[in-house]
Amino acid sequence: MADKYEQVLELAKRRGFIWNSFELYGGTAGFYDYGPLGAMLKRRVENIWRDIFVINEGYYEIESPTIGIEDVFIASGHVGGFSDPLTECQKCNEAFRADHLVKDIMDNPDTLGADELTKVLNKNNIKCPECGGKLGNVYEFNLMFKTSIGPGGKRAGYLRPETAQGMFVDFQRLLKFYRDHLPFGATQIGKAYRNEISPRQGVIRLREFTQAEAEIFIDPRDKTHPKFAEVADIVLNLYSQEGQAEGSSEKMSINEAVKKGIIAHEFLAYCLAMTYRFLMRVGVSPDKLRFRQHMKDEMAHYAADCWDAEILSERFGWVEVVGIADRTDYDLKAHAKQSETELTVYVSYDTPKKIERFAVKPDMGILGPMFKGKAGKIANALKALKPEELSADAIELTIDGEQIKIEKNAVTFETVCEEVHGENIIPHVIEPSFGIDRIVYSLLEHSYSEEEAEEEGEEDKTRIVLRLPAEVAPVQAAVLPLLTREELIKPANEIVKMLRKTGILVSFDDSGTIGRRYRRNDEIGTPYSITVDYQTLDDGTVTIRDRDSMKQVRAGMSNIADNIHELIYNGKSFEDAGKKI
RNA sequence: GCACCGAUGGUCUAGCGGCUAUGACUUUAGCCUUCCAAGCUAAUAACUCGGGUUCAAAUCCCGAUCGGUGCACCA
């Protein structure tokens, strides 16, 4: 009866992964707490993301405020576009998008405010499409949490609805940090906030959530990727625009997808590949992952191409967990306009270009004494003239309504040949954006398994196992004395110490039978259990038990820390960890 | 935000006007125990919240909150 979501959430609650926030006061929809194990799991997922994007790709991480000022979100479009004008039927209480209702009457209802929309509704006698009842006043519902900065509440602030704007706002500083070179990227892992109208689906739609975003600034004329060859052969499950029309996804190598023009360009494809590697490494099931291309009408108007990584969940179907978009120069242009600052990169040409340019040189030695304060304005006016106007016998200008005659000898002009070494361009932005909470939930769901542990002559019983990759499991090893005896507890404690010294998160458990303790650890995904028995006292060896296979090997106690480290981080196979038992 | 359904120890649940509120698992303390939750002894722990009806409410009514489902919303 209970579906997997319920089973996973029950376990998550009971064992300290995640639970609804503010339970003490009855709980609040859209907010979840990460418990001791959940916070650790999430941290490990984030650190793998860092390993890939920050360490291996070199896109340094920044940290900007979670509160943003109004200008930022005017530029991003969130102040205007992140809200919807709603109207409710007074009779049946259905809510409708007011701009949708007047779409057929108006050309551009998006530009109207709430009051104007109310007027249009009334004037045209528009009724509730459901029951024909009267519609109420239109109000704006903005999905951003609003607050005020400083006393008096005069200055508006908003909790950021995405982390991305931080990187755009810091563009100039980042450009300098990367010594004026394209491409470069910056990342941020942090909280974002959206005041969802009615969040459902548990952890899938949150009002406060964690994003990991990279903004990679590239040369718009060159969207190749230097390391493309390394990923060209990765095969992805692609659900392209055509595929969606036919309702089928297709497995294809990245190289082929770019060649066929399914993925817009190498750089975007490379990001898909990175995303794939990341999701595989943290433990998403490969058969429950697909990359879905946004349909043309679904894509933002400025986007060149956009793909979502979607993960299959038993309860929620295909869930978007990553968005990878070529946002072109939209964001930088918007911030350039709002801030009245040029946000460009100077790019040198391979070889300087020769350009013919018409140059006007007013002789300030003559104009200055003659016109005094007006000389500057006159010089500028002269520069704007065309060759034929300048070569006339007399040059007449109108400055501030005054007719002014200029002597021919006060200005010279010529066509000059110049070498241009480069130009200022607005970079394009490639943005992979990860919803960490959804990924963490998916990991729990995908790694959760119940299996019948058959023991001869005994009844069937279920074993709950979280098959998390060793690298993300919150508790990395359990140390268990076989029996509650002082002589076994002592060496066990020594092992705990050794492991902790090397940064392994280890739990010690001597309560209950050994089987019970193995099961307790299976349930939270502890990949390895180290058991101290009487043989340990004789020859200094312990057993290591593998969570997934339940197999055991016997290995030395003195180098146990290195051994476990290799198992977790270096892909050492369990068989190589010791002697088979 | 609307409609329908639901809410009892950590978890799952019994009770549907009157009990000291059922049971299981978990947990804790101890015993036992030489490798996969099953033994023994004991302990801890719950009626979502606020009103109302009634001599009496976990139980009936109203409202709120949270959760589920459908509609709407979802950069």
The helix/strand/coil state of A370 is helix
Residue whose CA is minimally distant from B28 C1' = A511
The helix/strand/coil state of A208 is strand
Dihedral angle at the C-alpha atoms of A39, A44, A45, A50, nearest 10 degrees? Answer: 130
Closest-approach nucleotide to residue A28, Cα vs C1': B66
Alpha-helix runs per DSSP H in A186-321: 228-231, 241-246, 254-259, 266-282
Dihedral angle at the C-alpha atoms of A264, A265, A266, A269, nearest 10 degrees? Answer: -20
Residue A296 confidence (pLDDT) = 85
Q: With beta carbons less than 8 A apart as the criterion, state whether A422 and A346 touch.
A: yes
H/E run at residue A157: strand A155-159
Query: CA(A8)–C1'(B15) in Å?
Result: 29
pTM of the model as a whole: 0.85
CATH number of A4-82+143-330+430-436: 3.30.930.10
Residue A216 confidence (pLDDT) = 96
The helix/strand/coil state of A169 is helix
**3-class DSSP string for A381-436:** HHHCCCHHHHCCCCEEEEECCEEEEECHHHEEEEEEEEEEEEEEECCEEEEEEEEH
Query: CA(A486)–C1'(B24) in Å?
Result: 34
Closest-approach nucleotide to residue A30, Cα vs C1': B66
Query: CA(A27)–C1'(B51) in Å?
Result: 21
Residue A544 confidence (pLDDT) = 96
R_g of chain A computed on alpha carbons: 32
Closest-approach nucleotide to residue A298, Cα vs C1': B75
Closest-approach nucleotide to residue A519, Cα vs C1': B37
Query: CA(A10)–C1'(B66) in Å?
Result: 16
Task: Give A360: exposed, middle or buried? Use CB within 10 Å, 0-12, 13-18, 19+.
Answer: middle
Query: CA(A544)–C1'(B74) in Å?
Result: 47
Q: Which residues contact A47 (CB under 8 A, 6 or more apart)?
A: none
Query: CA(A422)–C1'(B41) in Å?
Result: 86
CA nearest A431: which of A272, A237, A231, A576?
A272
**3-class DSSP string for A22-54:** CHHHCCCCCCEEECHHHHHHHHHHHHHHHHHHH
Query: CA(A14)–C1'(B45) in Å?
Result: 15
Query: CA(A458)–C1'(B39) in Å?
Result: 15
- Which bases of chain B are contacted by protein, using any atom under 7 A from a CB? 1-3, 10-12, 26-29, 31-39, 48-49, 64-69, 71-75
Residue A226, φ and ψ in degrees, nearest 5: -60, -30
Beta bridge partners of A124: none
Tokens of A392: 């006339």
Q: Does the bond joining A65 to the residue before it have cis omega, within 30 degrees of 0?
A: no
> Domain coordinates of chain A in residue numbers?
4-82+143-330+430-436, 84-142, 353-423, 467-580
Residue A348 confidence (pLDDT) = 83
Closest-approach nucleotide to residue A536, Cα vs C1': B34
Closest-approach nucleotide to residue A516, Cα vs C1': B37
Tell me A197's DSSP state.
Answer: S
The secondary structure of chain A in percent helix, strand, coil, rounded to multiples of 5, reads 35, 30, 30
Q: With beta carbons less than 8 A apart as the criterion, state whether A236 and A291 touch.
A: yes
Closest-approach nucleotide to residue A547, Cα vs C1': B36
Q: How far apart are the first and last CA of chain A?
A: 40
C-alpha–C-alpha distance, residues A214 and A188, integer Å: 7
Residue A1 confidence (pLDDT) = 39
Residue A311 confidence (pLDDT) = 94
Query: CA(A451)–C1'(B48) in Å?
Result: 34
Query: CA(A29)–C1'(B70) in Å?
Result: 19
C-alpha–C-alpha distance, residues A72 and A78, integer Å: 9
The helix/strand/coil state of A367 is helix
Question: How is domain A84-142 classified at the CATH fold level?
Answer: Herpes Virus-1 (3.30.40)
The helix/strand/coil state of A574 is helix
Tell me A581's DSSP state.
Answer: -
- Locus of tokens 């340019």: A357
Closest-approach nucleotide to residue A20, Cα vs C1': B66
Closest-approach nucleotide to residue A1, Cα vs C1': B12
The parts of chain A modelled with pLDDT lower than 70 are 1-2, 81-84, 88-97, 99-114, 128-133, 140, 453-460
Query: CA(A221)–C1'(B7) in Å?
Result: 60
Query: CA(A174)–C1'(B25) in Å?
Result: 56
Task: Give A246: exposed, middle or buried? Use CB within 10 Å, 0-12, 13-18, 19+.
Answer: exposed
Q: With beta carbons less than 8 A apart as the criterion, state whether A249 and A290 touch.
A: yes
Closest-approach nucleotide to residue A95, Cα vs C1': B72
C-alpha–C-alpha distance, residues A452 and A464, integer Å: 9
Q: Which residues contact A454 (CB under 8 A, 6 or more apart)?
A: A460
C-alpha–C-alpha distance, residues A576 and A485, integer Å: 30
Q: Which residues contact A350 (CB under 8 A, 6 or more apart)?
A: none
Query: CA(A23)–C1'(B60) in Å?
Result: 28
Closest-approach nucleotide to residue A523, Cα vs C1': B37
Using alpha carbons, list the distances in angstroms from residue A510 to A219, A473, A479, A490, A526. Answer: 60, 21, 9, 12, 16
CATH number of A467-580: 3.40.50.800
Residue whose CA is minimally distant from B36 C1' = A515
Tokens of A403: 């007719």
CATH number of A353-423: 3.30.720
Question: For the range A150-158, what are the long-range contacts, defined as Cβ-Cβ under 8 Å and sequence gap of 24 or more?
Answer: A155/A69, A155/A70, A156/A69, A156/A70, A157/A67, A157/A68, A157/A69, A157/A70, A158/A67, A158/A68, A158/A69, A158/A70, A158/A73, A158/A78, A158/A79
Query: CA(A235)–C1'(B74) in Å?
Result: 31
pLDDT in tens, A483-536: 999 999 999 999 999 999 999 999 999 988 999 999 999 999 999 999 999 999
Instruction: Write the DSSP string, A484-549.
Output: S-HHHHHHHHHHHHHHHHTT--EEE--SS-HHHHHHHHHHTT--EEEEE-HHHHHHSEEEEEETTT
Closest-approach nucleotide to residue A458, Cα vs C1': B38
Residue A459 confidence (pLDDT) = 47
Residue A95 confidence (pLDDT) = 64
Query: CA(A81)–C1'(B14) in Å?
Result: 53
